[in-house]
């Protein structure tokens, strides 16, 4: 009996080292000593992920450029985190729920949401440009880790409805220090809510390094305290991200409850365009991570296996360029904002006081128009 209990406890633990299926050169890594068996994804899936990463990175670079042109108020880049943004997102179904943070713009574009709708928040014309119900994608969340308990609740709700949908909740390394992270893991575990907590450990919370957030040997070790199985993965290895997501999804979808993933990755750009990363990290460090590029390694593997040729690479780059160009053009159009809409969605029906305020603003606007 004791052995069984010990085995059940051990089954919660992550691998001692991040799961890696492809090394930075694109060479397959022999699997030994991982906590679970991880299966190399098919070439077709890797090609799909590679393509989405190429498009996603170009989108991300374009979004940062739009801040310089004054078209976005701010943009938190996820350049360098493509394997996480794309790999995790492409692993789930349209009927699953996604709970993104402000850094998940690339993930949302990958999910098929119109990039202009995605950027509405950061352009500043609305708080959320897309329909969360239609897309099963929550608004991008800024108060750190607060969206995780929503994810646990939504996934539990799906389960209560008798559906096999899960929730994929994104979070950064710094936000694991927030109380809601712990409450979400605990609630998800207690209610066996099919929730995947996907931590992108990009090494910095704005400027604060992970060493100042936690003494845990890996953020994945935070799972066992809640009875949540966890894994750590090379977050710059798209093959490993897919493989670990597959295991997590199988676990959640089969009614076994939540799963925690720590993906080791790196934020190549500053926290946002308004941040200066040179104040807290060296360029040597950044260079080291440039060598672990997620796109290059899967591209190398695909080419080595005859699954990708230069023509396809050129065509995909051209498509990414065309999408970025279209996005630029669309973002250059002045967004329409409607002052009278301010009063529309405070409540389902405006209160008398809101109607009075609406009349006051309308009168101000009328006076301006005739002045």
Binding site for other proteins (CB under 8 A): 97, 126-128, 131-134, 138-139, 143, 146, 148-158, 160-161, 167, 179-180, 183-184, 186-187, 190-191, 341, 344-348, 351-353
67 CB-near residues (< 8 Å, 6+ apart)? 73, 74, 75, 273
Residue 279 CB-half CA count within 13 A: 8
Cβ partners under 8 Å of residue 321, min gap 6:
58
- Of 7, 2, 26, which Cα lies nearest the Cα of 300? 26
Q: Which is nearer to other proteins, 93 or 160 (CB)?
A: 160
Residue 34 Cβ, how far from other proteins at the closest point, in Å?
A: 31
Q: In the bound complex, what is the minimum distance in angstroms from residue 182's beta carbon to other proteins?
A: 8
Of the residues 36, 253, 280, 281, only one is catalytic, namely 280
Q: Which is nearer to other proteins, 177 or 186 (CB)?
A: 186
**Shortest distance in whole angstroms from residue 63 CB to other proteins:** 20
Q: Please indicate whether residue 271 is annotated as part of the active site.
A: yes
Q: How far is CA 247 from CA 14, 41, 88, 259, in A?
A: 12, 12, 12, 9
Task: Give the nearer residue to other proteins in terms of CB position, either 170 or 187.
Answer: 187
Distance separating the N- and C-terminal Cα atoms of the chain: 84
Q: In this complex, which beta carbon is closest to other proteins, that of residue 38 or of residue 99?
A: 99
Choose the catalytic residue: 57, 79, 264, 267.
Answer: 267
CA dist 238 and 53 (Å) reads 9
154-176 burial code (b ≥16 CB/10 A, e <16): bbbebbeeeeebbbbbbbbbbbb
Between residues 78 and 193, which has the closer beta carbon with respect to other proteins? 193
Give me the catalytic one of 103, 271, 292, 297. 271
Shortest distance, position 191 Cβ to other proteins, whole Å = 8
For 135, list phi and psi in degrees, rounded to 5: -95, -5
Cβ 132 to other proteins shortest distance, Å: 5
Catalytic residue ranges: 267, 271, 280
């Amino acid at each position: 009996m004791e052995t069984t209990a010990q085995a059940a406890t051990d089954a919660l633990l992550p691998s001692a080292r991040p799961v890696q299926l492809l090394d930075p050169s694109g060479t397959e890594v022999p699997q030994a000593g991982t906590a679970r068996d991880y299966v190399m994804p098919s070439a077709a899936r890797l090609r799909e992920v590679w393509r989405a990463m190429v498009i996603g990175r170009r989108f991300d670079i374009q979004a940062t450029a739009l801040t310089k042109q004054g078209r976005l108020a701010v943009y938190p880049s996820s350049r360098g985190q493509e394997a996480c943004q794309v790999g995790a997102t492409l692993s789930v179904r349209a009927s699953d729920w996604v709970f993104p943070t402000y850094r998940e713009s690339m993930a949302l574009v990958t999910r098929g949401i119109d990039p202009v709708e995605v950027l509405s928040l950061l352009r500043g014309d609305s708080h959320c440009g897309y329909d969360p119900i239609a897309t099963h994608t929550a608004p991008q969340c800024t108060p750190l880790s607060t969206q995780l308990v929503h994810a646990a609740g939504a996934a539990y709700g799906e389960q209560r409805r008798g559906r096999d949908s899960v929730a994929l909740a994104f979070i950064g390394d710094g936000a694991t220090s927030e109380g809601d992270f712990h409450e979400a893991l605990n609630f998800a575990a207690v209610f066996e809510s099919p929730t995947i907590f996907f931590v992108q450990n990009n090494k910095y919370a704005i400027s604060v390094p992970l060493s100042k957030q936690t003494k845990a040997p890996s953020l994945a070790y935070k799972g066992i305290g809640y009875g949540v199985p966890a894994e750590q993965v090379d977050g710059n290895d798209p093959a490993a991200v897919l493989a670990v997501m597959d295991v997590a999804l199988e676990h959640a979808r089969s009614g076994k409850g939540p799963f925690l993933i720590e993906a080791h990755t790196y934020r190549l750009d500053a926290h946002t365009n308004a941040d200066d990363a040179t104040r807290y990290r060296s360029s040597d460090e950044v260079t080291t991570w440039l060598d672990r590029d997620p796109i290059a390694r899967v591209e190398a593997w695909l080419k080595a296996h005859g699954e990708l040729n230069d023509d396809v690479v050129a065509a995909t780059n051209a498509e990414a360029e065309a999408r970025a160009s279209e996005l630029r053009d669309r973002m250059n159009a002045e967004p329409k904002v409607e002052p009278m809409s301010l009063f529309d969605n405070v409540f389902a029906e405006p209160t008398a006081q809101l109607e009075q305020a609406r009349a006051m603003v309308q009168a101000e606007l009328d006076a301006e128009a005739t002045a």
